[in-house]
Structure 1
């Protein structure tokens, strides 16, 4: 369901746990509740017929709740930092981001990414995410 392309190309990521059993009941419930949450960032800066641009600024300890990507997307780290991410396959990762780092993800028909992101660093973490419309999947309603 799209899980195998989370890190292609790879990030500096460390798997810290595998399996839903290590997750809190609240987190497991959030994955169910937000299974079709299309709000992938904190602020939708711009939306056109071709794309959506999201901006996110996370203070230490803040997180973006579980959200679902269905469109091809790219993101760029505006600052460096560390995040913890829980993914819908039950994996928990800690990822080091470098300022200026960018990644692009292609999602084929029916594929998706479903995860949360928490700033586990000591500094503000900022990034932009650009969703590209017109691909193999329809945009989620916001």
Structure 2
């Protein structure tokens, strides 16, 4: 069965006016600028092939995943329920409630991206699995070795 689905871009325009971030906590704007080329979209890269990367993202209560940049198609799925606050390079802050099994798909065309950070504002640990596809129109960011899963000896 063939399905023709229109691919919608999830590009988030980066606001270049520092005043658009005045409502953010101190230091977040500078951290966002430093994360514009950070491809570490999870806590640990657990698997990688030429076509995809699989990440686990664990955010403890009160913790936050640093700013990172998505440039290619990906999806994430929540493994635990909880409340999160997202900080986006547009200057927007968005609060959401996640549920087990919630899954979202995102896509980016040539030159498009999304830079954001996720903060755990709930009372339970947040846990996600993210799958990044590396066959998109943008080169994938390099990943430092210390982000890769360390196999037990």
Question: What's the TM-score once normalised by structure 2's chain length?
Answer: 0.80
Give the number of equivalent residue pairs. 129
SS in 1 for 2:128: strand
Q: Deviations over 1:33-61 (max 9, x none)?
A: 11110111000000100100000111111
Alignment of 1:128 with 2:137, yes or no, is no
1:124 positional shift: 1.2
SS in 1 for 2:30: helix
Counterpart of 1:117 in structure 2 is: 118
1:25 positional shift: 3.7
Counterpart of 2:94 in structure 1 is: 93
Q: Deviations over 1:47-106 (max 9, x none)?
A: 100100000111111110000000100000001111011000000010111110101101
Alignment of 1:80 with 2:89, yes or no, is no
Counterpart of 1:138 in structure 2 is: 139
Counterpart of 1:103 in structure 2 is: 104
How large is the RMSD of aligned CA atoms in angstroms? 1.6
SS in 1 for 2:32: helix
- Superposition pairs for residues 9-20 of structure 1, below 5 Å? 19-20=20-21
The structure whose Rg is larger is 2
Question: What's the TM-score once normalised by structure 1's chain length?
Answer: 0.86
SS in 1 for 2:111: coil
Residue among 3, 17, 20 paired with 2:12: 3
Runs of 5+ unmatched residues, structure 2 = 1-9, 14-19, 144-153
- Superposition pairs for residues 16-55 of structure 1, below 5 Å? 19-55=20-56
Q: Whose strand proportion is higher, 1 or 2?
A: 1
Determine the C-alpha separation between the residues in 2 that align with 1:80 and 1:113: 23
SS in 2 for 1:85: strand
Determine the C-alpha separation between the residues in 2 that align with 1:20 and 1:118: 16
